[in-house]
């Protein structure tokens, strides 16, 4: 048999096909799939970009509404605005990148080779997008989330660290997942396309021709390692900045207080309960009731004398529930940890370093409200 015999079989037998296409059924399916295709493209764009833009708009809206309600910026609002700005940046980056890629792909011709080159360029774009996800998405969004995590500091450093570590763990997981997609899916796809493209050439010229878009696996690994190393360094830096901002911010607030503005002070207390014997506070610390003699070496008598002048009948309530404000108005800005002078059972005074927590203050306030009711 010679090749021409195969050509005859091909020509003759294909002239009498065993199947034909039902034109009308196919047309219906094509029309429906064309509509679905347009809808899918719309939703893909909406999912990629719209969700982030929508979330950013929502966050800005919530900030504006809150600002209108309370008339001042809070730390949470700043966190939300930072996150919103990062989302807008990421969406704009993605949209502009997508448009530029579409323009680049439009330059390829309609031949099979042009189509393969277009697919390689597309795969290359998605590889770069995923590999740089850390820079255009995670790093811009991270400060906002860390600031938000920092707002948990007032509930105790454990809550802050839990939130911070959770955010970083989540981001690291996303980064790792992206690298997995690049390594297991996108790079093999690109390599397969490049090998098909190579098949269009004689010999091994294809690698040279398409060399501009092809990197070696070693280069890719090294690039990923560099990205990850730098990313990790940035994460740690961001975490440190957020930590310092949160630790020093409230101290600054307490040192320069606006005494009329109650919300300027942290709602914390170093003891979990308080009762009074005249102007002598008896406080509950580490599950034990003790008379409180001093705070940070300032005698309670002095503090209460000042509180009486400043708050009148509300002095005892303010002492229990707004201690940072009371101490600040007295001229002493407390830290997150204060030294309590407590009278022991043997009459001696012992000093105890205690953290001021929101939970303590809530217990005191709840107890008072319960008593009032």
Site residues (vs another protein, CB under 8 A):
1-3, 5-7, 9-11, 13-14, 16-23, 25-34, 37, 109-116, 119, 189, 192-193, 196, 199-202
CB-wise, 9 or 46, nearer to another protein? 9
Cβ neighbours around 124 below 10 Å, total: 21
The dihedral formed by the CA atoms of 79, 83, 86 and 90, expressed in degrees to the nearest 10: 170
Cβ 7 to another protein, closest distance in Å?
6
Q: Calculate Rg over the CA atoms of the chain.
A: 34
The DSSP annotation for 208-221 comes to HHTGGG---HHHHH
Cβ 232 to another protein, closest distance in Å?
33
Cβ 204 to another protein, closest distance in Å?
14
Cβ 85 to another protein, closest distance in Å?
37
> If residue 291 lies in a helix (H) or strand (E), which one and from where to where?
strand 288-295
CB-wise, 77 or 116, nearer to another protein? 116
CB-wise, 7 or 297, nearer to another protein? 7
Cβ 49 to another protein, closest distance in Å?
22
Cβ 123 to another protein, closest distance in Å?
10
CB-wise, 3 or 347, nearer to another protein? 3
The C-alpha atoms of residue 218 and residue 227 are separated, in whole angstroms, by 14
Q: Work out the end-to-end distance of the chain between its first and last CA atoms, rounded to an integer number of angstroms.
A: 105
Are 337 and 355 within 8 A, CB to CB? yes
Ramachandran angles phi, psi of 290, nearest 5°: -145, 145
CB-wise, 19 or 371, nearer to another protein? 19
CB-wise, 42 or 259, nearer to another protein? 42
The C-alpha atoms of residue 244 and residue 139 are separated, in whole angstroms, by 18
């Amino acid at each position: 048999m010679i090749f021409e015999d195969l050509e005859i079989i091909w020509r003759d037998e294909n002239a009498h096909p065993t199947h034909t296409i039902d034109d009308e059924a196919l047309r219906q399916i094509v029309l429906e799939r064309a509509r679905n295709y347009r809808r899918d493209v719309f939703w893909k764009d909406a999912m990629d970009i719209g969700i982030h833009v929508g979330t950013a708009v929502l966050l800005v809206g919530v900030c504006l509404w809150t600002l209108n309600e309370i008339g001042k910026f809070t730390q949470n609002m700043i966190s939300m605005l930072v996150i919103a700005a990062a989302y807008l940046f990421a969406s704009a980056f993605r949209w502009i990148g997508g448009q530029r890629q579409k323009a680049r792909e439009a330059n390829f011709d309609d031949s099979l080779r042009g189509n393969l080159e277009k697919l390689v360029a597309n795969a290359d774009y998605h590889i770069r997008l995923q590999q740089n996800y850390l820079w255009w998405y995670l790093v811009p969004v991270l400060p906002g989330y860390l600031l938000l995590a920092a707002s948990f500091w007032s509930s105790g450093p454990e809550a802050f660290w839990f939130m911070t570590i959770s955010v970083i763990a989540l981001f690291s997981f996303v980064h790792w997942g992206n690298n997995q997609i690049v390594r297991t899916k996108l790079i093999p796809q690109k390599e397969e396309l490049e090998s098909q493209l190579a098949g269009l050439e004689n010999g091994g010229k294809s690698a040279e021709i398409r060399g501009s878009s092809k990197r070696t696996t070693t280069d890719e690994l090294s690039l990923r390692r560099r990205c990850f190393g730098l990313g990790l360094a940035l994460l740690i830096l961001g975490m440190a900045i957020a930590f310092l901002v949160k630790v020093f911010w409230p101290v600054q607030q307490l040192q320069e207080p606006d005494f009329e503005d109650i919300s300027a002070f942290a709602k914390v207390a170093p003891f979990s309960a308080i009762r009074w014997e005249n102007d002598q506070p008896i406080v509950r610390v580490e599950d034990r009731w003790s008379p409180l003699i001093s705070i940070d070496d300032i005698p309670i008598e002095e503090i209460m004398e000042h509180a009486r002048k400043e708050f009148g009948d509300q002095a005892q309530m303010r002492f229990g529930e707004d201690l940072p404000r009371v101490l600040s108005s007295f001229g002493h800005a407390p830290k997150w940890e204060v030294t309590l002078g407590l009278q022991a059972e043997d009459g001696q005074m012992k000093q105890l370093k205690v953290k001021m927590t929101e939970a303590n203050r809530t217990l005191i306030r709840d107890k008072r409200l319960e008593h009032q009711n």
